[in-house]
Amino acid sequence: MMEKYEIQKLRELPIEKVAKELGMKVEHHKALCPFHDDHHASLTFSKTKNSCRCYVCMRSSIGTIDLAMRYLGKDFPAACRWLAGEHQIQLEEDSSSGSSSDGSSSGDNSGKSSFDASRYARFFEHPWLNGAARRFLFEERKIDWRVVNWCRLTSWTDKKGINWLQIPYFNTEGRLIGIQNRNLDYTKKKSSSGGCSSDEKASSAGNLSSEEKCSSEGNVPSEEKRPGEEKEQDAPRFRFPYGARCSIYNLPVVKRLKPGERLFITEGCSDCWAMLSAGHKAIAIPSATLLKPEDKQLLVDIGRQYQVEFHMFPDQDVPGESLFMQLREMLPQLVHHQLPPGCKDFSEYYLLGAAATSGSKEPINK
């Protein structure tokens, strides 16, 4: 059963952002209502109330969870799981009862979790990237191959042909404490063959047994079908092994810091890879909507112990600036860097070439 605070966290997700993730085109706080034959954008969004309402077919306003329920045709628990998956929020029903870490500077919050790191550690001893992972990392994101090696990124393909990027989370001592699986086929919207294409076979190291699959897997559609459009995937954007707790990302870099050196705080793994590829030392907060007290304390401990200078390029949206302000309360020395117009996050800025280095090409296979 989900806790009340978790449900409240999902209800506080920005309503317009949720609508866009569902596939709606929101402009000037309005969108075409998907619940009737609408041609005049009658679905209106209220940022102050964090709700939306169509004055043609709705008697009252609805929030994020209700919107997901109606749009996806799911019940309450399934809609909550979908929202949690989109925003990398771990629900208590998908993890063990012990969820808190001790806040120690080692970043090891697995002591009270049922996550069995020994079952997964071997996956990252010899990382392997299939075609989908290479395209995503090297062609689309232009990530430096040395960063990919440092982060121990690997990949696998499930029985349905869906390609997953497997992202390990380590504590400062380099011990595995969590895993995030990213659906590499999630953004595909059209299929010429009516199915998932897969030109690479799964790595034996990446194939998870049914017992090891993430408890939040479910049959949650990544997007709604449209007339003439074939839905390729029926899987969430992210999956986490049972009991995994993804705290601050790339903690091993802390051991390489020198007193007074700059450490960038990013939002999400992708921005962290881009920052590392640009030549900076960086860590990542899992999500702007999920900043745990133990994560905050860990950052304070890092700053105090290593005497680093924290820097940040906040995402150009409300959650991004909110995250910066939360961090600034505990890290008064946190330096704010403004992204240029048109760049919503550091990954986009990096792709523009303003921060990219010449070493981002994929290595040649030997």
pLDDT string in tens for the chain (366-residue length): 677 778 888 999 999 999 999 989 999 999 999 888 888 899 999 999 999 999 888 889 999 999 999 988 888 888 898 888 887 776 655 443 333 333 333 444 434 445 777 778 888 888 899 999 999 999 999 999 999 999 999 998 888 889 999 999 999 999 998 888 899 998 644 333 343 333 333 333 333 333 333 333 333 333 333 333 333 445 778 887 766 667 899 999 999 999 889 999 999 899 999 999 999 999 998 765 566 778 888 999 999 998 899 999 999 988 888 889 989 999 999 999 999 998 999 999 999 884 444 444 444 433
What is residue 289's predicted lDDT score, i.e. its pLDDT? 59
Cα 156 from Cα 117, distance rounded (Å) = 18
Cα 251 from Cα 174, distance rounded (Å) = 8
pTM greater than 0.75 (yes/no): no
What is residue 164's predicted lDDT score, i.e. its pLDDT? 93
